[in-house]
Amino acid sequence: MTHVVVGSSNEGKVIACRRAFHRAFGEVEVRGIAVPSGVAEQPCGDECFVGARNRAEAVRQAAEALSMAADYAVGIEGGMVQLYNRWFGFSAASVVDCSNDRVGYGTSPMFELPAAITASLLEGTLLGDIVTELTGDATFRERRGAVGLLTRGLLTRENAHEYGVLAALAPHLSPERYRR
């Protein structure tokens, strides 16, 4: 059995990791622990990768302190990035192999943010708060998220996080291709 710790208590992130690791390794135990990201609440660009890596390292240390089994430590950090004169929402994922310190990074699919949402984000409003305001449902943001709202459920936050974690597993699944 593969043991995974996730740097979040967010149910959507834990479920996404469980799905991704199950696809890669079969039987898996995934536990979420809330840890700080060390970045802004609404990070931009590279800061999302820094937050994901910080979460992976913090949850790894937390698992060690709690004597929890951990083969992999995962951090996921949602945010936004400006590309091609547009703003996009996405999440960065960092997966650390606790046995050899190998780190893999991946991203979720990116989705274009509407101008009105972007304006609110740039003024300091959090994307989750915007989603709650638009849907009237405080739980919508955790599992379906902004991407679920904007794609009418065709892609959800859980699905997007899962793909980001799968991408971050590439160096772990094909280590011979990543040797330096």
Delimit the domains of the chain by residue range: 2-108+158-177
User: Over 90: is that where the pLDDT of 180 sits?
Assistant: no
Spatial separation of the C-alpha atoms in residues 93 and 123, rounded to whole Å: 26
pLDDT more than 70, % of the chain: 99
Spatial separation of the C-alpha atoms in residues 36 and 166, rounded to whole Å: 23
Average of pLDDT values for 107-133? 94
Q: Does domain 2-108+158-177 have CATH number 3.90.950.10?
A: yes
Phi, then psi, of 18 in degrees rounded to 5: -60, -45
Spatial separation of the C-alpha atoms in residues 144 and 153, rounded to whole Å: 7
The sign of the CA dihedral 129, 134, 136, 138 is: negative
Specify the pLDDT at position 139: 81
* Lookup: tokens for 49: 């990768």
90 or 132, higher pLDDT: 90
pLDDT in tens, 130-140: 999 988 888 87
Q: Which amino acid is at 31?
A: R
pLDDT in tens, 145-171: 899 999 999 999 999 999 999 999 999
Average of pLDDT values for 90-118? 97
Identify the weakest region by mean pLDDT among 18-22, 62-66, 82-86, 143-147: 143-147
Name residue 29's beta-bridge partners: 3
* Lookup: tokens for 70: 């951990």
Predicted TM-score (pTM) of this structure: 0.94
To 10 degrees, the CA torsion angle through 84, 85, 89, 90?
30
